[in-house]
Amino acid sequence: MSIAVDHIEAKTSLPEPGQLIGGEWVTTTTGESLRRVDPSTNELLLEFPAAGQKEVDDAVRAARLAFPAWKRTPVNERRGILLTIARLLSESDEQMKTIVALETGSPRSVFSVAPAVDWWEYYAGWADKFAGELNHGYPGRSLSYTRYEPYGVIGALIPWNGPLNVAAMKLAPALAAGNCVVLKTPELSPFAVMRLAQICAEAGLPAGVLGVLNGGRSVSKAIIDHPDVKKVSFTGGPSTGTQIMARAAETLTPVVMELGGKSANLIFADADLDSATLMSTMMGAVLGAGQGCLFPTRLLVQDTVYDDVIARVQAIAENAPLGDPLDLTKVMGPVIGEVAFDRIMDYIEIARNDGSSRLVTGGKRVGGDLQNGFFIEPTIFADVDNSSRIAQEEIFGPVLSVIKFHDEAEAVSIANDSTFGLGAYLHTQDVARAHRVADDLDAGWVGINSFPPLNPTSPFGGVKSSGFGREGGRAGIEEYVHHKSISVPID
């Protein structure tokens, strides 16, 4: 059976397209229709309605009206609803695997709803433990305390890569803290989030507490500009983040920004090279087809093991199981679509010709049965100049840049020579060096001898052009409250 036939049959897993507004599933809108193409076959998946200004207004109005009651909902009830969302989401795993494979090209063998479920469960646990704090009052005795107050209506804008996970990272803490949320689905991967919206309604989330809208930039702008949206949380590229900040500044709307990265990954000569090269290749150029803001796309290698590492990385890349994301034997699928494909191939062509690097392997479109899709071979460039475009710009594709260094000081200097500061990684068996280098790296997230899972227990976010604000841990729920101090004299 051909890949196209398999994907046509799998389309029955997609939800009926619509928007969640005021607790109702709305399938007719005032916005234009959007079309989503299957990145594996370049065939139409579905045409679906986008929101217009009316739907944005309706969703925000419903959220504003629902807010007082949701804010005062007993915390055990709020906790229970979030736990029910987590349970229903977990039960949808098989359907979600297919939806995500069809709309993003992420293989079924790799994807799981478990990480998103974890975020819902974790922040459900915060709902009854996050009330405020007691302060010291003086000079006279007083009862001085601080309440954590939800903002009201939060606008959430999420990217097409990892839509379920990023939605959970924003929705779970915002709802646990007592906010209502209007979320825009990604244009390129809306269907898993639509299904999540249905699950939230099925779990008993009150009407209006969550609005989910489909659309492009016009919908994002309408959400940001709406006077009843009190804070915006965005994950995406720096250029879009800059535009959002400028727009939000006009109304002094606070924002949370996670804006991508060009993460350095340092392999020292004493590292476990089997483990280090496998992690570096799979996370840098194979899994997710390189389409992750946290991926280690700059590989820095100590000179004494440089040639050995290059050979290992090449072998792993050339043997990576690439193909149909519905095939459980494959771990790498296509890039998200034609625009992304053309951009990535342009970067590869620039690197081939500008003298800044040496192509080791890959760099071509995959042919055969996959020729109609947007499949790119895992691509490795060696001897890369850190000032080159492929080393400094976020390609967001399966392209790994390998750079040589001599000693620890040079490694840290090269790693930090970037406008980004989201993630960083290092491999060494020297414990003192591991902690010393981790301290010196300009990044909000550092992994030592591993690519750590993005667990909800730890704050996640970047520095420099990678944004500000945090998702995860106590810091993640604090983004969705402001502090109200109250003092009563008792003498």
Is there a catalytic annotation at residue 200?
no
**CA–CA separation, 205 and 22 (whole Å):** 11
DSSP helix/strand/coil, 4: helix
**CA–CA separation, 232 and 219 (whole Å):** 13
Contact of 63 with 182, CB cutoff 8 Å: yes
CA-nearest of 398, 439, 432 to 415 is 439
Q: Are strands 210-213 and 180-184 parallel, antiparallel or unpaired?
A: parallel
**CA–CA separation, 469 and 231 (whole Å):** 12
Q: Is the dihedral of CA 384, 386, 387, 390 positive or negative?
A: positive
Buried b (16+ CB within 10 A) or exposed e, 77-109: ebbebbbbbbebbbebeebbbbbbbbbbbbbbb
Contact of 190 with 47, CB cutoff 8 Å: no
Could you say which of 180, 293, 394, 479 is catalytic?
A: 293
CA distances (Å), 77 to each of 84, 206, 400, in order? Answer: 10, 11, 47
Residue-by-residue DSSP string for 307-367: HHHHHHHHHHHHT--BS-TTSTT--B---S-HHHHHHHHHHHHHHHHSSS-EEEE--SB--
Could you say which of 55, 258, 408, 471 is catalytic?
A: 258
Beta-bridge mates of residue 446: 424
- In this structure, what token pair is assigned to residue 184? 């825009």
Which phi and psi (to 5°) does residue 255 adopt? -135, 155
**CA–CA separation, 324 and 373 (whole Å):** 9
- In terms of C-beta distances under 8 Å and separation of at least 24 residues, what long-range contacts does 445-451 make, across chains too? 445/294, 447/423, 449/271, 449/272, 449/275, 449/276, 450/279, 450/425, 451/279, 451/283, 451/296, 451/425
**CA–CA separation, 221 and 250 (whole Å):** 12
- Which residues lie closer than 8 Å to 156 by C-beta, 6 or more apart? 167, 170, 171, 174, 181, 182, 183, 184, 232, 233, 234
**CA–CA separation, 392 and 264 (whole Å):** 11
Q: How many CB atoms are closer than 10 A to CB 393? A: 14
CA-nearest of 80, 178, 174 to 124 is 80
Beta-bridge mates of residue 402: 299
**CA–CA separation, 479 and 179 (whole Å):** 11
Is there a catalytic annotation at residue 393?
no
Active-site residue set = 258, 293
